[in-house]
A and B are shown apart, each in its own frame.
Chain A
Amino acid sequence: MVAPVAIVLAVLVLYPLGYGFYLSLTDANEANVARDIGAFHAPATYKMVWFDNYWSVLSGADGDFYPRLIWTVIWTLSCVVLHIAIGMGLALLLNRRMRAKLLYRALLILPWAVPAFVGVFAWRLMLNSQYGVFNDMITAVGLPAQNWLATPFAQKTAVIMVNVWIGVPFNMVALLGGLQSIPKELYEAAEMDGASPWQRFVNITLPGLRPVTNTVVLLGCIWTFNMFAVIYLLLGQNTTGEADILVTFAFRKAFTGVSDYSGAATYGIVILALLLAFSTFYRRRQLKTEQA
Chain B
Amino acid sequence: MRRGISIAAAVCALALTATACGDDGDDGSTGKAKDAKDISGSLTYWDTSDATTEAPVYKQLIKDFEKKYPKIKVDYENVEFASIEQKFKSAAKTGKGAPDVMRADVGLIPEYASLHYIAPLDGTLALKGGTDDFTEGPLNTTKYQGKTYGVPSVTDTLGILYNKKLFKKAGIEKAPTTWDEFIETAKTIKKKTGVEGTYLNPDSYFLLPFLYGEGTDLADTKTKKITINSPEAVKAVTTAKKVYDQASAKVDFANSYDNMQTSFKNGEVAMLVQGPWSVTDDLSGKAFKGDESNLGFAPVPAGSTGKPQAPTGGHDLTVYQGSKNLDAAYLFTQFMTSSTSQQKVAEETATLPTRESAYTPEVTKDARIKGFHPIMKTARPRVALPQVGSLFTPLVQQYTKILQGDVSVKSGLDAAAKDFKKLLPGYTIGS
Q: Interface residues, chain A, CB within 8 Å of chain B? A: 30-31, 35-40, 42, 62-63, 124, 127-131, 147, 149-152, 155, 234-241, 252, 255-259
CA distance A235 to B93 in the complex (A): 30
Q: Is the CB of B397 within 8 A of A240?
A: yes
- Does B78 sit at the interface, judged by CB under 8 A? no
With a cutoff of 8 Å between Cβ atoms, the chain B residues found around residue A255 in the complex are 86
CA distance A40 to B98 in the complex (A): 15
State the Cβ distance, B234 to closest chain A Cβ, in Å.
Answer: 19
Secondary structure class of chain B's binding surface, majority of residues: helix
Q: Is the CB of A130 within 8 A of B259?
A: yes
Partner of B321, one of A38, A150, A238: A38
Q: Is the CB of B254 within 8 A of A235?
A: yes
Interface centre among B92, B322, B326 (most CB of A within 10 A): B322
Query: Can you list 23 pairs linking A and B with CB atoms under 8 Å apart?
Result: A35-B116, A37-B321, A38-B322, A38-B323, A39-B321, A62-B422, A124-B254, A128-B255, A129-B250, A129-B259, A130-B250, A130-B262, A147-B250, A149-B254, A150-B253, A238-B256, A239-B396, A239-B397, A240-B401, A257-B387, A257-B391, A257-B393, A258-B390
List the count of A-B residue pairs having beta carbons below 8 Å apart.
116
Q: Is the CB of B116 within 8 A of A131?
A: no
- Does B173 sit at the interface, judged by CB under 8 A? no
With a cutoff of 8 Å between Cβ atoms, the chain B residues found around residue A128 in the complex are 252, 254-255, 258-259
Q: Is the CB of A238 within 8 A of B400?
A: yes
CA distance A128 to B323 in the complex (A): 44
- Does B404 sit at the interface, judged by CB under 8 A? yes
List residues of B (380-430) whose CB comes within 8 Å of A's CBs: 386-394, 396-397, 400-401, 404, 406, 418, 422-423
A sample of 11 more A-B contacts (CB under 8 A), given A257-B389, A257-B391, is A30-B115, A40-B116, A127-B254, A129-B255, A129-B259, A130-B252, A131-B259, A150-B253, A257-B388, A257-B390, A258-B386
Chain B: residues with Cβ within 8 Å of the partner, total of 47
CA distance A39 to B263 in the complex (A): 50
A238-B396 in contact given A37-B322, A257-B111 (Cβ < 8 Å):
yes
Closest B residue by C-beta to A150: B253
Closest A residue by C-beta to B118: A37
A42-B116 in contact given A128-B252, A131-B259, A240-B406 (Cβ < 8 Å):
yes
With a cutoff of 8 Å between Cβ atoms, the chain A residues found around residue B320 in the complex are 37-38
Q: Is the CB of B95 within 8 A of A155?
A: no
- Does B203 sit at the interface, judged by CB under 8 A? yes
A252-B393 in contact given A30-B115, A35-B116, A36-B95 (Cβ < 8 Å):
yes
With a cutoff of 8 Å between Cβ atoms, the chain A residues found around residue B423 in the complex are 257-258
